[in-house]
Chain A
Amino acid sequence: MARNFFTVMRSSAPTRTASPASNQTPSGQVTAPPPNMKQDAAAGVGVHLDPNLEAVRHDFTEEVETALQLRNVSAFYGSFQAIDKMTMPIPRNRVTALIGPSGCGKSTLLRCFNRMNDLIPGARIEGEIEFEGRNLIDPNVDAVEVRRRIGMVFQKPNPFPKSIYENVAFGARINGYSGDMDRLVEDSLRRAALWDEVKDELDKSGLALSGGQQQRLCIARAIAVQPEIILMDEPASALDPVATLKIEDLMRELAEEYTIVVVTHNMQQAGRVSDYTAFLLAGEERVGRLVEFGPTQDIFTNPIDQRTEDYITGRYG
């Protein structure tokens, strides 16, 4: 099956349809760039992904496969629209950070990726999220299967009140894993950088661990079902700086094998751990929109959209 190669663009590449083109009105007249575009976007020439000219993509210097391709994804809670027509790729084996102020729909978007929003009465998703050639939003796609292949780590560490071993083994067991469970548990805990701390007390309750250890246990639990993508919703926001650093190191290591999408409030964290960054913002009506997506370095050093720059430099609340 053909993979989606989403960019091959360099600034000199001829595929650069770029701003000048999209700034043309149907009549062919060249208009001024939209007011939210930085006027002096000299170095980074952006490509608009959606017709609203809101989401801006930097040109990429590397060639990556997409793990997920979002097309016009909107999410609703009852009659309230939380996110509006987001279109972007999630690159495979990279860390993608979702940043933006509170309430802009980061968690909502993340929970669309593994159909977690199905569990909320009245929640609804529109659009398309392509995952291995299928639209995983499609009601005919089994949400349980989606969640097995796209794991999740939550904001507050939430180990089961069971033994450390059971915490890790549970997912594999219910999914009919028939291999050597002891090895799987050890392997998962090793990858989550927790094995050395707990190897002598696997029978201890997961709740007896420290916050940082609990969060790494949750990561081990997610890894144990061997997912392709791991979603993390502010995984370090409840942790102290040392534990946070450990989780960040872990994310970098995991990115070699997994695709990671991480929501974070913390600019420095996004800068440290992520390869790609999506900046989301909610307007007046509290509807979250994608403002800018691109390589983290470009977003941080050379944002195209004025609002991105304002947010990154801390001019937003």
Chain B
Amino acid sequence: MSAATPTAGITPYAPRIRARRGLSVGFMVIALLAITASMLMLGALIVEIAVDGAARLFTDGSATVQEVRGETLIDLPTPENMNWLAWAMPVAILLPFLGLRVVRSLIADIPALAERAIGFATTLPVAVFVHILYVRFESAYYIEYAKAIGVDGASGNIFQLFAEASGFQFVRLIVAGLILPLGIIAAGWFWSNRLRRPSLLLPAIATAAWVVYLFLDPFFLSSYPSRLPAQAGLFSAITGTLYMMVITAAVAFPLGVGAAIYLEEYARRNWFSRMIQVNISNLAGVPSIIYGLLGLQVFVRVLEFERSVLAGACTMALLVMPIIIVSAQEALRTVPPSMREAAYAVGATRWQVIRFHVLPYAFGGMLTGNILAMSRAIGETAPLIAIGALTFIAFLADSPTDDFTVMPIQVFNWVTRPQSGFHEIAASGIIVLMLVLLVMNAAAIVMRQRTRTDW
């Protein structure tokens, strides 16, 4: 059969198998080399960025605000005083656990309800305690801050603080003042309900967020661009990005999903639908700068949106549309034909089948695709430069027709400045951008797992 002569102890097939194995080892080595090399390069880049960026993004925990900002502003209580709060979470987790242990050793059979009650009883005081401490700390902080920036009548009243705080500070108040105590309560609840994994995961995340928060320099995220690197911040870029993403999603998602529904559910398989399909794939490969030029002509000039958030969002919507369409089509295809048949068989019209069955079952997949498309859009710079997004925005966009900037453009601008201070904050900006991307992609993965149906 084979040309190889059978030798003792070796079947005639052996040479072919060995040859194939040799080949696969070769491919493996190449793949490993490629992966290692790219990982190393990426790692080096990340380390470099992190070292640079950390200088601006984080305080060392003991530095006062004035040191970080390079000028005397006010003498604020430092987050350092609050470091011990980072331990509140692990303690809060241990408490219901230990409490239950103790109670169990005393009483043999505890009813399930009592178990929960014990969980609550042990975590609730800790949560309240943490919350009160936090509010007192934050009040002192903001009273000083308010005095320094000349707000009159600042008091320790938490509601007034909420009223005076704005933007990022407001978020901080909410996050730290409420999320942490609630996280502690949730941990106790999960634990006493024997949901061990979330009970550990939630507090771990909250604790990590808390630690980051303690060391994060809030002013980098809450300041406008400045000609002084020490005072420049990402605030207008972050809000600009958020604003643009919301509009982009609002435009691209319905259009893209609609197109996918048409192609999958309505279009007949003929040359026309095939042509559309091929061109969608082609559009996904068009360089993004081309979309920028298209946006410049169509949205900025012809439709006279000017260099606004709206023009940028529409351009981005075009750019990500192919991704959304293709992923929505894939999501629709995962709905088995048997589901459609089942719905048709009880007398559903085509639209009812789509509305009540196909769409709901595919929606998770569509959202996942949408998040991935958005994370592509968030990093795109070229098309926005083409339509003329600005880099120095010292105000927040109020309406879709305002000027705007986004994170990658801000970073790009800082990188091109000659002063090294700007290079450092560019690195900080990149870290923020990467964190946002990481969170979005993680959300997409989680959502994909969550919404998967095993048919």
- A222 x B345 contact (CB < 8 A): yes
- Docked complex Cα distance between A303 and B334 (Å): 46
B160 interface residue (CB < 8 Å to A): no
* Complex-state Cα separation, A218 to B345, whole angstroms: 11
Q: Is the CB of B341 within 8 A of A144?
A: no
Point out the residue from A149, A151, A158, A222 that lies within 8 Å of B339, measured CB to CB.
Answer: A158
Chain B residues closer than 8 Å to A145, beta-carbon distance: 347
Among B61-69, B348-356, B440-448, the stretch in contact with A:
B348-356
Contact assessment for A171 and B454 in the assembled complex, using a CB-CB cutoff below 8 Å: no
| Contact A225 B347, beta carbon cutoff 8 Å | yes
Is A160's CB under 8 angstroms from B339's CB? yes
Contacts of A43 in B (CB 8 A): none
Q: Is B341 a contact partner of A154 (Cβ separation < 8 A)?
A: yes
Complex contact B347–A175 (CB within 8 A) = yes
Selected interface stretch from A58-66, A113-121, A284-292: A113-121
Cα distance, A221 to B346, chains bound together (Å): 8
Of B338, B346, B352, B454, which is in contact with the most chain A CB atoms at under 10 Å from its CB?
A: B346
Q: Which residues of A in the span 28-50 have a Cβ within 8 Å of any Cβ on B?
A: none
Check if B135 is an interface residue, CB within 8 A of chain A: no
CB distance from B353 to the nearest CB of A (A): 9
Which parts of B274-303 form the interface with A (CB within 8 Å)? none
* Partner of A116 from B339, B341, B349 at Cβ < 8 Å: B341
Within 8 A of A (CB), among B347-367: 347-349, 352, 356-357, 361
Q: In the complex, which residue of chain A has the Cβ closest to the Cβ of B335? A: A161
- Residue contact A116 to B344, C-beta cutoff 8 Å: yes
Residues of A within 8 A of B352 (CB): 174
Q: A121-B268, A158-B338, A160-B357 in contact; A222/B344 too (CB < 8 A)? A: no
Residues of B within 8 A of A119 (CB): 340-341, 344
Could you tell me which residues of chain A, from 144 to 182, have a CB within 8 Å of some CB in chain B? 144-145, 147-149, 151-152, 154, 156, 158-161, 170-171, 174-175
A136 CB to closest chain B CB (Å) equals 14
Among B268, B340, B348, max chain A CB count under 10 A is at: B348
Q: Say yes or no: A147 contacts B344, CB within 8 Å.
A: yes
Contact assessment for A144 and B347 in the assembled complex, using a CB-CB cutoff below 8 Å: yes
Task: Select which of B338, B346, B348, B453 is within 8 A of A222 by beta carbon.
Answer: B346
Most buried by B among A114, A154, A159, A161: A161
- Are B341 and A171 within 8 A (Cβ)? no
**Known pairs A121-B269, A160-B357, A161-B361; A218 contacts B342 (CB<8 A):** yes
In the bound complex, residues from chain A placing their C-beta under 8 Å from that of B336 are: 158
Q: Quick check: B269 and A171 within 8 Å, CB to CB?
A: no
Q: Which residues of A contact B261 (CB under 8 A)?
A: none
Which residues does chain B contribute within 8 Å of A144, judged by CB atoms? 347-349
For the complex of A and B, 9 pairs with smallest distance between CB atoms: A148-B347, A171-B346, A152-B345, A158-B338, A158-B342, A147-B347, A161-B453, A174-B352, A225-B346
Q: Can you report 6 A-B residue pairs in the complex whose CB atoms are below 8 A from each other?
A: A116-B345, A144-B348, A151-B346, A161-B453, A207-B453, A221-B342
Contact residues of A with B, CB < 8 Å?
A: 114, 116, 119, 121, 144-145, 147-149, 151-152, 154, 156, 158-161, 170-171, 174-175, 207, 218, 221-222, 224-225
